[in-house]
């Protein structure tokens, strides 16, 4: 059984929860933050993402 079909939904739900937490815990407000997760599943699970400049 693969969980891949649920990945996009999990990212969306997780990001929405994180967004709510960020607004509650920081001086940022919703317009200050991206309305949806700016990263896709491939990027999130890539151990080399983001590429760090030396």
Average pLDDT over residues 18-27: 98
pLDDT confidence bin for 54, thresholds 50/70/90: low
Average pLDDT over residues 21-50: 96
Residue 30 domain boundaries: 4-41
pLDDT confidence bin for 12, thresholds 50/70/90: very high
Is residue 24 one of the residues assigned to a domain? Answer: yes
pTM for this prediction: 0.79
Contact 11, 41 (CB under 8 A): yes
Is residue 22 one of the residues assigned to a domain? Answer: yes
Distance CA 11, CA 31 (A): 20
More confident residue, 3 or 29: 29
Q: How many domains does the chain have?
A: 1
**Average pLDDT of the chain?**
93
């Amino acid at each position: 059984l693969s969980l891949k079909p649920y990945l996009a939904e999990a990212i969306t739900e997780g990001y929405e929860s994180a967004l709510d937490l960020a607004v509650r815990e920081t001086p940022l407000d919703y317009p200050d933050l991206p309305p949806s997760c700016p990263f896709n599943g491939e990027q999130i699970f890539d151990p080399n993402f983001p590429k760090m400049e030396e």
